[in-house]
Amino acid sequence: MNRVAVQPDAHFVNRYGPWGLVAGASQGLGAAYARELARRGLSVVLIARRSEPLQALGREIERDFGVAARPVTVDLSSPDFLSVIERETRDLAVGLLVYNAAFSNGGLFLDRSPESLLKVIDTDCRAPLLLTRHFAGQMRERHRGGIILMSSLTAFNGSPGLAAYGATKGFNLVLGEGLWYELRRAGIDLTVCCAGAVRTPGYEASVAAKSSFPPVLEPAKVAREAVRALGRRMIVIPGSFNRAVSFLMRRLLPRRTTVRIMGEAVDSLSLSQR
Ligand SMILES: NC(=O)c1ccc[n+]([C@@H]2O[C@H](COP(=O)([O-])OP(=O)(O)OC[C@H]3O[C@@H](n4cnc5c(N)ncnc54)[C@H](OP(=O)(O)O)[C@@H]3O)[C@@H](O)[C@H]2O)c1
């Protein structure tokens, strides 16, 4: 057995356990979130469309951390996704929800079909809204729990080349801020994670040219910082470079200038459709 030597975090398990659920867990940041929750002692529900990587991650987590893993294969952009998740988690007490999945749909707005734009809304807005409503309702009954909503630095200003995706990240940021206040009364912590570039399969597929700028963070670091922020911060921006850039763009530059800079950065990364 290759079990990693881990000491479960008893406070974390009491506050957010016994089960965590990661939506969008089959690779990248979602897989890193699942490992981070398991390392701290939570059993994990793993959600994505592809069954094979979910099963493999589940086996790895059970072996390495000695917790249970339950893979659930479902398309979060489908109209009835919630009924599948309700059915598959009915017997579990989910105390921590991480909504990580996204459809980023990079490229020029007018080159995208209406169907593909609506899929951005379904995956990045509708699904986190309904999952948060569902699991926060259960957490309220236990008067404890936590929620992490994955947003992005694109949430703060318009993002040419990623306009619809960036707008959904703004939705998650503003939704999370409102709920951070509302849900505190119900004993539920909420943190919105506004990440910069993270080295994930999704990110690597979206940038044609390998570039050393902007600095790209490892998924494990982002997941660790976001989970550590839960109960402490309403918004977390992992990485000191990202915090400095975000401060500059939000507080010091006119919005119009920021949008221009974002447009030029996206142009130089040659975004392809994801
Ligand atoms: N990577 C970055 O540079 C970066 C920067 C800022 C913010 N973020 C945010 O971080 C989060 C994760 O990004 P990432 O780069 O790790 O993404 P990724 O590599 O594309 O992975 C996305 C995950 O979500 C799942 N997923 C996507 N659509 C789904 C659907 N309709 N139903 C079920 N599962 C679905 C994918 O699994 P299946 O394909 O198996 O379904 C996969 O596990 C996103 O919210 C993104 O906006 C990322």
Give the distance from CA 26 to its chain's centroid: 12
Whether 165 shows a pLDDT value over 50: the answer reads yes
Name the residue type at position 144: R
The residue whose CA is least distant from atom 19 of ligand 1 is 202
Residue 8 confidence (pLDDT): 83
d(CA 239, CA 217): 7
Residue that is written with structure tokens 């996204």 in the block: 102
Query: Is residue 221 within 8 Å of 35, Cβ to Cβ?
Result: no
Rounded Cα distance, 27 and 35, in Å = 11
Q: Give the model's pLDDT for residue 5.
A: 61
Query: What single-letter DSSP state applies at residue 252?
Result: I
Catalytic residues, by residue number, are 165
The sheet carrying 188-195 orders its strands as 69-73, 43-48, 19-23, 94-99, 145-152, 188-195, 235-236
State the Cα angle at 119 between 115 and 124, rounded to 5°. 155
What is the enclosing helix (H) or strand (E) of 145?
strand 145-152
For residue 248, report the distance from its CA to the centre of ligand 1, in Å: 27
Q: Does residue 154 have a pLDDT over 70? A: yes
3-class DSSP state of 218: coil
User: Contact at 8 Å (CB) between 37 and 224?
Assistant: no
Report, as an integer, the average pLDDT of 220-231: 98
pLDDT tens digit sequence for 251-273 = 899 999 999 988 887 777 655 43
Average pLDDT, the chain: 93
| Per-residue pLDDT at 270 | 55
Looking at residue 273, its pLDDT comes to 39
Q: What six digits make up the tokens of 49?
A: 């469309």
Q: How far apart are CA 209 and CA 229, in angstroms?
A: 33
Give residue 202 CA to ligand 1 midpoint distance, Å. 6
pLDDT greater at residue 106 or residue 58 = 58
Helices (H) then strands (E): counts for the chain: 11, 7
Residue 52 DSSP code = H
pLDDT digits (tens, 9 = 90+) for 123-139: 999 999 999 999 999 99
Given a cut of 70, whether residue 160 has pLDDT beyond it is: yes
More confident residue, 226 or 6: 226
> Is 206 or 198 the better-scoring residue by pLDDT?
198
Q: What would the mean pLDDT of 18-38 be, rounded to a whole number?
A: 98
Average confidence (pLDDT) over 139-143: 97
Q: Which of 21, 22, 29, 217 to mutate to test the pocket of ligand 1 (most atoms within 8 A of CB)?
A: 29
- Higher local confidence (pLDDT), 191 or 7: 191
List pLDDT tens digits, range 69-107. Answer: 999 999 999 999 999 999 999 999 999 999 999 998 778
Distance 101 CA to ligand 1 centre (A): 4
What is the separation of C-alpha 76 from the centre of its chain, rounded to a whole number of angstroms?
A: 13
At residue 163's C-alpha, the angle toward residues 128 and 171, to 5°, is 30
Residue 168 has pLDDT above 50, yes or no: yes
Candidates 205, 198, 194, 217; CA nearest to 270 is: 205
| Contact of 89 with 46, CB cutoff 8 Å | no
Least confident piece of the model among 56-65, 190-199, 244-253:
244-253
Look at residue 203 in the predicted model and tell me its pLDDT: 87
- Counting every residue written for the chain, the total comes to 274
| Pocket of ligand 1, beta carbon within 6 A | 24-30, 48-50, 75-77, 100-103, 123, 150, 152, 195, 197-198, 200-203
Q: Which of 80, 20, 92, 78 has the alpha carbon at shortest distance from 49?
A: 78
Q: What is the pLDDT of residue 274?
A: 40
What number is the average pLDDT over the span 139-151? 98
| Cα–Cα distance for residue pair 108/130, rounded to 1 Å | 29
At 226-243, the pLDDT tens digits run 999 999 999 999 999 999
pLDDT for 212 beyond 70: no
Which amino acid would we find at residue 168? T
